A and B are shown apart, each in its own frame.
Chain A
């Protein structure tokens, strides 16, 4: 039953735009004619804390929550965040990571360490890993905040939604002023396949 359903898990830091990314993904699935459910964390968790968003689509979706070990794509808007949620990814699922770092206060205070070998850690765990600086790609376009949409482009390679469904979703959710930039951002992400 659950094999007919595509699940995507997005992990990041509160304020990075997970809500928007998850919204666009869900809309893209809806545009492609699927039943879809999402869940995101609001409130306390958004003040710079670790957050996840979950999207599931298919012919008929019951649970808005993803079962561990079943996500087709696990994506991190920050360098190490998906390491907290690795158990969501299905075997041979796609792991997509924005290499941008956000140093948690716990590291600055000296009570914990930010792993210096994050890329190696990620590569060791995830056989299908795409790791790149989505922030830099977005900054080149003129707005670092579009990093989430760059990442969506890469995520789109791991699922079977038609490109038109994605573009329609972006067009619906992004204000016209920023639409051109965000469509470019999406296409840049979609062309990253390392």
Chain B
């Protein structure tokens, strides 16, 4: 037995299933799946693709050739990959293909909490949902067999509390690998209208067959106990139900879609009341109601935020007119200072946001660590929509003749992901936006994954490091500047100059992520308490190393990375270098 996270277990499942190709794009809570696949790199080719659509297509083609392939992403990543998903459902696969999508109910680290189960229904392909690490591993093996038996891609849906929870898992050994040999069959593989119409019919007959499989599946099970209440549930929510209603009868769905109608009807006929407990949408409930079964669901269970055992126990108490769970000690969070996530001490993004504080402009941001630049005291991001949106939205607002000038801010990985097309749009359609790429050569927020700018692959091989300046030039941008964000004078000058100029400009802020390099930038700074006038200008950087309570600010030498931004911001020369940083850390 091993103590594995859901993500480790999914990687292990892929290994045991004989997968030979895995692709994905990092996204919390899915990232560690591919990071763990790397331990099997002798037998599995694995890559971080530039985005989820590319990753999906890479895995799809491998499966068409007969290999077992895996693609991983977070819930919003599946939006990016939705185009190939919808049509691959028509074509189908020869080797097994599993799409692992990780939802984030409660939005621990996401911009929305969409329920990805809806994609299974939308694309008409099966969806499995494990409830712990053992099932995460076992369901992967099941998913590959199902995928090959029916020639369909299969979604394995996980979520934060599966991916990032650890539980005991029994390991198996690796099964045989498929031989790859693509067989030409245009009526199956070429989706022009002529042949797509034929595949469309196939899709419907396949989903009917899959419904039968769901009804007979061993990963759907009825646990009959007290028949006064029957709960239909799936995923980690099953575990919460077992704690809140230890005596209730349960229909636990592992093979969630297509819905096992016969099993649902059988279960409903055996219990007095049916309650559906599922995370987010009323995905199962809507269908159960369509079957003509009276049930409770989202009328009592929240559809916003994540469900927890505490929430279920409170709901149970309300339903049974009992007393809610008792917490003997009360939180006093409201009396405590807030502790939101912040840009790290020494973060290179701070230099750009601080320089931008001098301008009254609209700033379109993007998805990554730099989204933290939206909070006080920097408050330098005004819109965040989606990956790549920082560039195209800056353009849209500029073209709408917004009263204020517009700046777009994006990261390097995000630029490669879906920023380049926006940049082409600006040049092609004669936009004038100023675009700043925060280029730290790594996908930082998700825990430092390689990207096309890093110079190394997921499998640890050295490779070309793409230059954002060169890409900008190839896109037709004439005004391109590579700057050091720690040099505030130059940074401020370039930004001020480019905001004023009515042509597209691309400013590339080049500095490595300090959390990744783990190397201090320079000697720590310290504030001379005599020279300090307590003007608190340095505090406007929002640096966690600069601490101030009642008195004058001071720098915590354990946190300071020596970026010198505070020294440059101090008008009284009160901030200087410490003699020797090794004395402190």
Contacts and interface: CB of A to CB of B under 8 A. Distances in A.
A87 B341 contact: no
B549 A36 contact: no
Contact of B546 (A43, A61, A63, A108): A108
Contact of A125 (B109, B308, B332, B536): B332
A35 B1 CA distance: 10
Contacts of B326: 69
B485 to A, nearest CB: 18
B494 interface: no
Interface stretch (B77-85, B236-244, B475-483): B236-244
Interface in A52-84: 61-69, 80-81, 83-84
Nearest to B446: A43
Interface stretch (A88-96, A160-168, A176-184, A185-193): A88-96
A61 B167 CA distance: 9
Contacts of A48: 339, 341-342, 344, 544
A44 B529 CA distance: 34
Given A43-B29, A62-B239, A109 B539 contact: yes
B543 to A, nearest CB: 8
A42 B342 contact: no
Highest count of chain A CB atoms <10 Å: which of B31, B242, B553: B242
| B interface majority secondary structure | loop
Contacts, number: 193
Given A44-B108, A44-B109, A126-B329, A104 B337 contact: yes
B518 to A, nearest CB: 12
Contact of B331 (A39, A49, A85): A85
Contact of A106 (B108, B339, B546): B339
A165 to B, nearest CB: 13
A80 B336 contact: yes
A27 interface: yes
A42 B329 contact: no
Contact of A39 (B161, B337, B376): B161
Highest count of chain B CB atoms <10 Å: which of A13, A44, A61, A91: A44
A42 B28 CA distance: 7
A194 B310 CA distance: 31
A38 B166 contact: yes
B249 to A, nearest CB: 16
Contacts of B573: none
A188 B336 CA distance: 30
A90 B327 CA distance: 7
Contact of B549 (A40, A46, A114): A114
A63 B549 contact: no
B243 A62 contact: yes
Interface in B330-351: 330-333, 335-344
A86 B549 contact: no
B328 interface: yes
A109 B337 CA distance: 11
Given A68-B325, A103-B547, 17 more contacts: A26-B166, A39-B161, A42-B31, A42-B447, A43-B28, A43-B446, A48-B344, A49-B342, A65-B161, A65-B240, A65-B309, A83-B333, A89-B329, A103-B549, A107-B337, A108-B549, A112-B338
25 contacts: A1-B246, A13-B339, A26-B3, A35-B168, A38-B3, A39-B165, A39-B166, A43-B445, A45-B109, A47-B369, A47-B372, A63-B236, A63-B309, A64-B132, A64-B165, A64-B166, A67-B309, A68-B327, A83-B333, A86-B330, A87-B327, A103-B549, A108-B548, A109-B542, A125-B330
